[in-house]
């Protein structure tokens, strides 16, 4: 969650930043009104309490003399009734505040460009030049090599499920090991986590309640299949206080990810770009505010290095405000070149969420002044396994339908 005190203190500038991320003016005006109501309510509560204290003192003096003052007694009864009503109003205001605050997105960093959607994202740079083919290139689903079985995947579970067979299954396993090794080489500790989490963990990282409709729930259980490894990795420290000298904590894990893809009807219906279940190697960092920018760049560089080692042309793109995720204050996407489509497609998103998730998940650290402060959390794909697999299929395809495996994977795939 954002710090509501900052919103109240500098409402104009903070609300402009939130509008950059698509928050409507009507919602912001409602919050502004709530701030005024809360302030007025608090003033009335304090005035009522002061009046009660004054009259209680007077009433006590009468009682000491053995006298009964019915007028004062009636005034006190009336004040107590009014206080109860004011308290009920205060609780209602706070409850409304809570509903608004959990649905407000993170405030974008000042470096985030203006824009409404992906068309307004800003390219930072391109890495590697796409290969020129002397034959007609195919999309990954058109390659006749029996690697991907869409028909039987749909038979087993429905649309957007795919079976990987033979060399494809081996290549996926090789990619997972390669990604984990690359992440470990720069200090990320490998972790094996549960693939189901409870509602509180999803609230902590911002998927719940706003994105509830995109989650797969376990019937009759307070458990959901994870939409990304970011959720269990970040929430390892949910409601904990770390020591400053423990930070940064760098974690990586391979997990399946499960998404209903709500709202994606008609998009990427062919191939393996958008699946209900896919593997992803995730990077998560828990840092102090001072460390977070350096770690953010380290994660971006690492994801780019993995693609470069695989010989996959890609570009780095900074997301504009309108395309920025709910929890992110800034994001750099890595988009890999797919010659079959003739365009770049997202393969990794590296995000710095500042203290937004930490406030929701109550992740803190004890600073050198012995005060508890909120950590910064960062997350990013390193990388999406299925999309890397199809990028290799398309970029390394040969005219006879075979696929050359990148040299860096030889020791993993034999």
Catalytic sites, residue numbers: 259, 274, 346, 349, 387
- How far, in Å, CA of 371 to CA of 302, rounded? 33
SS3 of the chain: CCCHHHHHHCHHHHHHHHHHCCCCHHHHHHHHHHHHHHHHHHHHHHHHHHHHHHHHHHHHHHHHCCCCCHHHHHHHHHHHHHHHHHHHHHHHHHHHHHHHHCCCCCCCCCCCCCCCCHHHCEEEEEECCCCCCCCCCCCCCCCCCCCEEHHHHHHHHCCCCCEECCHHHHHHHHHHHHHHHHHHHCCCEECCCCCEECHHHHHHHCCCCCCHHHCCECCCCCCEECCCCHHHHHHCCCCCEEEHHHCCEEEEEEEEEECCCCCCCCCCCCCCCCCCEEEEEEEEEEECCCCHHHHHHHHHHHHHHHHHHCCCCEEEEECCHHHCCCCCCEEEEEEEEECCCCEEEEEEEEEECCCHHHHHHCCEEECCCCCEEECEEEEEEEEEHHHHHHHHHHHCECCCCCECCCHHHHHHHC
Distance CA 282, CA 299 (A): 10
Using an 8 Å Cβ cutoff, are 90 and 45 in contact?
Answer: yes
């Amino acid at each position: 969650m954002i710090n509501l005190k900052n919103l109240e203190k500098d409402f104009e500038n903070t609300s402009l930043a939130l509008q950059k991320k698509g928050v409507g003016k009507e919602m912001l005006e409602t919050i502004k009104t709530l701030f005024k109501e809360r302030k007025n309510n608090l003033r009335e509560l304090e005035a009522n309490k002061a009046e009660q204290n004054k009259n209680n003192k007077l009433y006590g003096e009468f009682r000491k003399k053995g006298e009964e003052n019915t007028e004062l007694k009636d005034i006190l009864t009336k004040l107590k009734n009014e206080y109860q009503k004011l308290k009920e109003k205060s609780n209602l205001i706070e409850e409304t505040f809570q509903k608004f605050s959990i649905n407000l997105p993170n405030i974008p960093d000042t470096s985030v460009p203006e824009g409404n959607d992906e068309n307004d994202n800003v390219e930072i740079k391109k890495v590697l030049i796409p290969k020129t083919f002397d034959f007609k290139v195919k999309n990954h689903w058109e390659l006749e090599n029996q690697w991907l079985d869409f028909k039987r995947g749909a038979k087993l579970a429905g649309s957007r499920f795919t079976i990987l067979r033979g060399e494809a299954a081996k290549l996926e396993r090789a990619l997972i090991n390669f990604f984990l090794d690359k992440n470990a080489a720069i200090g990320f500790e490998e972790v094996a986590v549960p693939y189901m989490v409870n509602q509180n963990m999803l609230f902590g990282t911002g998927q719940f309640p706003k994105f509830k409709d995109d989650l797969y729930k376990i019937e009759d259980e307070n458990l959901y299949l994870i939409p990304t490894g970011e959720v269990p990795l970040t929430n390892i420290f949910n409601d904990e206080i770390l020591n400053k000298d423990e930070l940064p904590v760098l974690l990586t894990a391979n997990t399946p990810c499960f998404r209903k893809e709500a709202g994606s009807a008609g998009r990427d219906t062919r191939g393996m770009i958008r699946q209900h279940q896919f593997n992803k190697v995730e990077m998560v960092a828990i840092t102090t505010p001072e460390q977070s920018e350096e770690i953010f760049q380290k994660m971006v560089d690492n994801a780019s290095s993995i693609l470069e080692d695989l010989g996959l042309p890609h570009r780095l793109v900074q997301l504009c405000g309108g395309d920025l995720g709910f929890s992110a204050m800034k994001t750099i996407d890595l988009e890999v070149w797919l010659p079959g489509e003739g365009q770049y497609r997202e393969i990794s998103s590296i995000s710095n969420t500042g203290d937004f998730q930490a406030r929701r998940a109550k992740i803190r650290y004890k600073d050198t002044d012995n005060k508890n402060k909120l950590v910064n959390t960062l997350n990013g794909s390193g990388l999406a396994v299925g999309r890397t697999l199809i990028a290799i299929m398309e970029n390394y395809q040969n005219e006879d339908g075979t696929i050359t495996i990148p040299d860096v994977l030889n020791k993993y795939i034999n």
